[in-house]
Structure 1
Amino acid sequence: MKTEDFASKWAVVMTVSEPSELVLANVAHHLTYGASEIFVYLDTPDAELEAVLAAHPACHVALCDAAYWQVQHGMKKSPARHTRRQTLNADQAAKTTQAAWLLNIDADEFLWCESLFADILTTVPESAGWIKLRPWERRRDAGSADGLFDGRFLGLAVQPSESPLTDGGFTGHVVGKACVRTGRGYALTLHNPRIGPVSDKNIPKSFENDSAFLLHFDGLTPLHWASKLLRRAEKGPEYVRNNYRGKRLRQIYLAAQTCGDPASLAKLQNEVTYILPERAEVLTGEGRLRTLDLQIPQALNTQFSNEVIDLTTQHFDKKIALLLDQLHARVAALGDVWGVGK
């Protein structure tokens, strides 16, 4: 392989516990965008998804069961924190990939570039160990019936948010994610790499190009957003307090408090993730609202042409509803332990 070809090769790694439609859409998007390999670590079993991914020549898939953690990492059980599992899996992928760069993301994050990402990577100076990808967060128009991947994308505000449930207008992370050079021995924590032990917080020099960023779907549907919060809440208030801060902590507390009241939970989701027409007009004028077409159906047809993949919100929410019923029961079984999220 020519050196210049290797320098522009990039791969993706993700640790997932999501419906197969989202995972396959993510994989198809990044392969179509030019990723040379995709490493998918299944945090929960999904035999059908595992088989589909394993059949694709550019995909590497691993089920993160007890045997996996024992054999691959010498651990008696899975690490409790999902961020730790993500880091360990990304570190393993970095050691085996044939690409010069590795993008460590969640299943609900999609790279967007205004030029070829490979071309952008060749402009990164050798002194920089990673490229920082800022997030833009998906927003649904109030009262719309958008599809799973429709909607517009909001840019981060400089001024503080008016809502205690957002930060710079975002319900999710504001830091962004990292595409990291392989072969340098970095620890691949989710938002930035580290030199040496993660606890030292020694972050290598980064590079940024405004034409490359991440589109973050913090909940493809209202039910999906609720399930993300309740999956955290089911671990109990002590775990939540120890692992979350600020807006996400308050979101989890409110979701836990209203999990038995679907109307209140829907009102909470609408409050923080829907956008009114008049507000959309202002944000568009400020350059903070973009309309982008990811062309997910086309990407799926290109990468998984033998699969029939239903991208309707009705089908997706039917899957999520089954999970939500279980989450509601588990969170309710914890009792009245939440109080007010601080």
Structure 2
Amino acid sequence: MVKWGLSATILAPTQDILRFAAHHIELGAHRLYIYLDDDNQDAFNHLKKHPKVRVQTCDATYWKQQGGRPVKHQVRQTKNATHAYNRRPEVDWLIHMDADEFLVPDQSVSERLVALDTKQQHARVRPMEVLGGSDNAFKAYLPPGSNRAKIVRATYPTFGAYVKGGFLSHVAGKLFVRTGLPDIQVRIHNAFQSGQMLANAVELPEIELAHCHAKSWEAWRATYAYRLEKGSYRADLKPAMTPEKGGMTLHEMFKHLEATEGEDGLRAFYDEVIGDSPDMRARLQAHGLLREVDLNLDALMAKHFPNGAV
């Protein structure tokens, strides 16, 4: 059977790290290459004991060996993902993920990968985004097409023009890359070979990527300022709709919302686009976009890291 694994650069509480690891070990990951973005000795000790995990603390010594610590976390992710890919292969396929992302297959991940053509170099999984305040409800990925904009506007009548595919975070998903290819650089959503982006990735609709981007109003508000300046709402990202058609980037939209409506405006955005409610579920259900998945993370953490629970 084909072996697969993942790499992740993580700055998170220990239990979140262990939940992420346990979920993917349960799915059959043969190897997890986890790079701790700070000196989390507690997480390191738990992970180090598991035979499926290779854990690295990204301290000053590590970054000196890598030519220096990048300031931007996105660049650190890229360098670590590439480092994991270029080490001695222990898996046939490798995917780079974040700690708030969880693969959700409708069959074995290995079975889906082994079914790919032997010449296929990479395969893409698309995200579904959690509804804030829910443990099990997600909005599904809406593929590009003539109806996407219409559906998004109907589902999010006030803010739909500013959220690509109805998602607050990425719609690009993440990429499985076959190991053993020369001169590969792994980036957050794509991979490059000899400086050229790998094209024509096959889609894996049987595997969804549950993205827990905003677990609650409090969690979203706590990360909002960072994401606005340095993360997924930063100024250099493209808008969902071109400015000629009235579009704004998320960064511009949020800045405008803050200036005109303040905290009430941000809460209104959260309630319409992110937060779980009967109305939100009904809007998603009307277009076949509601997914309900029990990740069962605490139970899996207790199973694979029995000493990690509080």
Aligned counterparts of 1:235 and 1:95: Cα–Cα separation in 2? 28
Aligned to 2:101: 109
- How far apart are 1:99 and its partner, in Å? 0.4
Percent identical residues:
28
- CA drift of 1:295 comes to 1.6
Is 1:12 matched with 2:29?
A: no
How far the C-alpha of 1:227 sits from its partner, in A, is: 3.3
2:139 equivalent in structure 1? 154
Contact 1:195 1:204 in 2 (8 A): no
Return the alpha-carbon distance in structure 2 between the equivalents of residues 165 and 255 of structure 1: 12
Any residues of structure 2 matched to 1:90-105 within 5 Å, and which?
A: 90-96=81-87, 97-105=89-97
Superposition TM-score, scaled by structure 1 size: 0.75
Give 1:39's aligned residue.
33
TM-score (norm 2): 0.82
1:249 to 248, 251, 255: 251
5+ unaligned residues in a row in structure 2: which ranges? 154-158, 240-248
**CA–CA distance in structure 2, aligned partners of residues 80 and 110 of structure 1:** 26
Residue aligning to 1:133: 125
| 2:169 counterpart of 1:172 | yes
Mapped contact 1:135–1:155 kept (Cα < 8 A): yes
When the two structures are aligned, how many residues end up with a matched partner?
285
Structure 1 counterpart of 2:95, one-letter code:
L
Bigger mean CA offset, 30-39 vs 297-306: 297-306
Partner SS, residue 170 of structure 2: coil
Deviations 1:19-63, CA, capped at 9 Å, x for gaps: 222221111000000001111111222221122212222111112
Unaligned runs of 5+ in 1: 310-342
**Aligned ranges 1:113-262 → 2 under 5 Å:** 113-140=105-132, 146=134, 150-157=135-142, 158-160=147-149, 161-162=152-153, 163=159, 164-185=161-182, 186-197=184-195, 200=196, 202-233=197-228, 240-242=234-236, 244-246=237-239, 247-250=249-252, 253=255
Q: Which digits, 9 at most, give the CA deviation of each residue in 1:134-171, with x for residues without a partner?
A: 1111114xxxx64xxx1311113452244144221111
Describe the shift of the 1:138–1:196 C-alpha distance in structure 2 as closer, same or farther (beyond 3 A).
same
Q: How big is the alpha-carbon RMSD for the aligned residues of Structure 1 and Structure 2?
A: 2.6
Q: How does 1:265-304 map to 2 (within 5 A)?
A: 265-304=266-305
Change (3 A) 1:255 1:34: farther
Deviations 1:224-280 (A, max 9, x none): 2233332244669xx9434x333542466479879xx76665444334201442442
